[in-house]
Structure 1
Amino acid sequence: MKPFSATEAVVAIEAGTLTSERLVRDCLDRIAEREPAVKAWAFLDPVRAIAQARAADAAKGGPLRGIPVGVKDIIDTHDMPTGHNSPIFNGKVPFGDAACVALCRTANAVILGKTVTTEFANRHPGPTTNPHNAAHTPGGSSSGSAAAVADGQVPLAFGTQTGGSVIRPAAYCGVIGYKPTYGDFNRVGIKMQCHSVDTLGLMARTLDDIALFRGAVLKLPPVRIDRKQGAPRVGFCRSPVWDKALPDTKALLERTATVLSSKGASIVDVAFAPSYNDIIDDHAAITGWESVRNYADERLRNPDKMSTEIKEGPMKRGLAVTFERYVAAQRKAVAFRAHVDSLFEKVDVLLTASAPGEAPEGVAFTGDPVFNSIWTLAHTPCVTLPAGTGSKRLPLGVQLVGPRHADNHLLSTAAWVAAHLD
């Protein structure tokens, strides 16, 4: 049976044809069947989950009506360990909930469990596999969230993005990933990696579910996606890293632009000013400087419990960034955001790649975030839509980027694009 979307489940629960307990039990059954292969969960307590569902059914109401939510394991939960995929935090239960978790509980959600992350949401992977082919990565760092949503184990899940950790795994697993405008979602209770760019994101199987979830996290009424809006003005932005795109992705983006044009969208090529062709290097300088300092305690008190991968990679590179380089990158980032804002004077949305291609083989490498880091630095809202498969029959996605603080319009535009791609 096809799993309920969150929006469908809310309607059914309100109609009395479904209960939160039944929905949670169905999710737990799916997890029991598939967890040995997918390995999406860092912590799961079925007894606790069912008790929450019964309480949600008794309470009635609330925007999320007892819908189960997966929480990336760098996000604090007062009643479950937050392990960060690190032996430093193994089994440690925080004193309270992250703001986003508390707001979901207020909306009458069920916090189903904690999903696998890479170590400190960086590069060292956990055990999660791609649900479409276990020989391939699900992406990272929000590995478990993307895989669990794609596999029908939970309808909604949190991810976070410093480089490409929401959009890329969502694309690899064939679900919808949404990174909001920087700063819209509260980050209290989320393990900080880079304070200038870290962004809480959402994963779901439908855009309506993203809108519902977003409303709960903002403690606002759900966004009503406008499916009557006219054809958008689309800027095809290959970006300065277009040479990193594999043939499947290049063909997909070109084909998408052609299809949308045939459906009435205005398509124009959009490019960055030449002075921003190396903006990806500025993202690396900012995140390198900040991450090595945000992990000062772990790095100095427990170096033996950090992976060689993180110590010899991000930490070593971060220590090599001078303060002068960091400041210069921050100044350039401010100018870059203004430049990106100006791109939207003539288009409604930018069309670009979600990832270089299909999910790489193996689970040791979670993929290259090069097509996401630019937009994370730009602070723009982004959404990836499933858009078929590549040569290995694994999912591909297209990424839509909107102007800052125009997330509602981006979601409506994404709905238009998705409808016409179908």
Structure 2
Amino acid sequence: MVYHPSWRGLSFHDQVPTGTASPRAYLEACLERIAAHEPVVQAFVTLNIEGARAAADAATTRRAAGRPLSPIDGMPIAIKDLIETADMPTQMGCAAYEGHWPRRDSAMVGALREAGAIILGKTVTTELGMSEPGPTTNPWNAAHTPGGSSSGSAAAVAAGFVPVAIGTQVAGSIIRPAAYCGNWALKPTQGGIHRGERQGTSQSTAGPHGNTAEDIWAVAREISSRLGGDPGTPGVMGPMATPAPRRPMRLAIMRTECWPRIDATSQAAFERFVRSLDVEILWPEDHPLLAALERALSQAMAIGTRITAFENRWAYRSLPRDKISARMRARLDASATATADDYASLLAERAAMRAAHAAIAPLADALIAPACPGPAPLWNPQAPDAAANPRPTGDPSCNAGTSALGCPAVTLPMLAVGGLPMGVQLIGQPHQDAQMLALARWLHAAAAPVAM
């Protein structure tokens, strides 16, 4: 199936709150698509269909009585299988956690249930959110990866199984799979959505994938309005209603280390899109502070990887080695020699990146960048060199900088290359989540999508 960025996927906002469909009817339409396409897409690890139908019936009754719990009352949502759910196991794509069932809800899942959302199922993740892929395929072409580690969440939205799915990101695991699958997504300011039990990694962030800006914003705000953010952080802030579209006066290009890795056609598609905007554009060479930011972020992926490896090794060092993949064993082995002094130096480098980012705040309304270094690459787990492929779910270099910065990023589906999606991302200063969504809505409405 050939993708074009004018395609509009499944929306909850347009149907249930307007009375076009009841929550139960909407859920049944989702289940029909799952029955038809899940055998190829393989987005889910677990489904709770009986529980979802009961929740949809309750939401239908509330809406018929004019007493919905929130704008997302009755919305089917899928949860990445790194996040705990009381009614389904949390197995984290890892044989060492097979059958693991804490029987409690993560903070964000509890908030979604309080808002009336229907937790339909758990989506495939790469092993422990790292690089060993699961079985999920790209809904636009099953020969290609959907991205990682939020592979199932991205694919479930793009396939029309759910209007919103929750993903997580440490390097590029919300924004990149959304870009590969043609979704909207919000990677919030670090800690903007309460991570519950997943507080051990300093760059881990939870955020929604969806087909519309309205749906992802409603989910983010309903969670944060109930919980705040991570301990010590205020959460995603802004209006409860979707921020109105706002035209930026000036945007600055962010190239970073991903730029040399982007193929010529994908670079041309992004540049054509940028040139079409009725907005002043600054390139890194146009201002020394932008050039300084590029230099500061030039090693963001390596620095973030080493920070995360040091933080994760304490949690994973006791896992049975015969129950984790060769890729995971190699990660643990590589982190074993790092010292606390090494970690402190890495944190200092990350702090310098954040200072360089803060310095460019007066220059532009937002940074704009490709959300991935081209369309989703081919992935064949049976290929002779598959085990040696260091990035079977794609290259996160377009996203590693924003993860290190801890700032909000919104991806929006504006590009197609070779019949597959390629996203554009807008990047703001910390706590500018609402502003980034407002700018993204303007771009999506005002700019012509580019297909090459």
TM bucket (normalised to shorter chain) is over 0.9
Deviation (angstroms), 1:292: 1.6
Q: Does 1:293 align with 2:293?
A: no
When structure 1 is superposed on structure 2, of 410-419 and 269-278 the one drifting more is 269-278
Aligned partner of 2:111 among 100, 103, 127 = 103
Aligned partner of 2:403 among 370, 376, 379 = 376
Deviation (angstroms), 1:247: 1.6
Deviation (angstroms), 1:275: 4.8
Deviation (angstroms), 1:326: 1.3
When structure 1 is superposed on structure 2, of 89-98 and 180-189 the one drifting more is 89-98
Deviation (angstroms), 1:420: 2.2
Q: Does 1:239 align with 2:256?
A: yes
Deviation (angstroms), 1:4: 4.2
The aligned runs of 1:388-407 (5 Å cut-off) are 388-391=415-418, 393-407=419-433
Deviation (angstroms), 1:317: 2.1
Aligned partner of 2:412 among 364, 371, 385 = 385
Q: Tell me the residue number matched to 1:224.
A: 242
Deviation (angstroms), 1:256: 1.8
- 3-state SS of the aligned residue for 2:13? helix
Partner Cα separation in structure 1 for residue 183 and residue 51 of structure 2: 27
Partner Cα separation in structure 1 for residue 351 and residue 13 of structure 2: 38
Deviation (angstroms), 1:106: 0.5
Q: Tell me the residue number matched to 2:181.
A: 173
Q: Tell me the residue number matched to 2:30.
A: 27
Aligned partner of 1:310 among 324, 328, 332 = 328
Name structure 1 gaps, 5 residues minimum.
none
Q: Tell me the residue number matched to 1:282.
A: 303
Q: Tell me the residue number matched to 2:283.
A: 269
Q: Tell me the residue number matched to 2:269.
A: 252
Aligned partner of 1:338 among 319, 331, 355 = 355
Q: Tell me the residue number matched to 2:142.
A: 134
Aligned 8 A contact 1:123 1:140 in 2: yes
> What do you get for the CA RMSD once the two structures are aligned?
1.7
Partner Cα separation in structure 2 for residue 52 and residue 267 of structure 1: 48
Could you tell me which amino acid in structure 2 is paired with residue 294 of structure 1? A
Aligned length: 407
Aligned 8 A contact 2:80 2:123 in 1: yes
The aligned runs of 1:52-131 (5 Å cut-off) are 52-60=55-63, 61-63=68-70, 64-131=72-139
Q: Does 1:409 align with 2:427?
A: no
Q: Tell me the residue number matched to 1:357.
A: 374
Could you tell me which amino acid in structure 2 is paired with residue 21 of structure 1? R
Percent of aligned pairs sharing the same letter: 37
- 3-state SS of the aligned residue for 1:297? coil
Q: Tell me the residue number matched to 2:340.
A: 323
TM-score for the superposition, normalised by structure 1: 0.92
- 3-state SS of the aligned residue for 1:385? strand
Q: Tell me the residue number matched to 1:206.
A: 212
Partner Cα separation in structure 2 for residue 120 and residue 33 of structure 1: 29
Deviations 1:3-36 (A, max 9, x none): 6412113323xx3x42111111111111000011
Change (3 A) 1:275 1:78: closer
When structure 1 is superposed on structure 2, of 359-368 and 123-132 the one drifting more is 359-368
TM-score for the superposition, normalised by structure 2: 0.86
Deviation (angstroms), 1:249: 2.3
Aligned 8 A contact 1:214 1:222 in 2: no
- 3-state SS of the aligned residue for 2:435? helix
Q: Tell me the residue number matched to 1:215.
A: 221
Aligned 8 A contact 1:149 1:205 in 2: yes
Q: Tell me the residue number matched to 1:366.
A: 393
- 3-state SS of the aligned residue for 2:372? coil
- 3-state SS of the aligned residue for 1:124? coil
Deviation (angstroms), 1:366: 0.3
Change (3 A) 1:84 1:107: same
Deviations 1:206-255 (A, max 9, x none): 1111111111111266243222x334310011113311112232112211
When structure 1 is superposed on structure 2, of 393-402 and 160-169 the one drifting more is 393-402
Deviation (angstroms), 1:185: 0.9
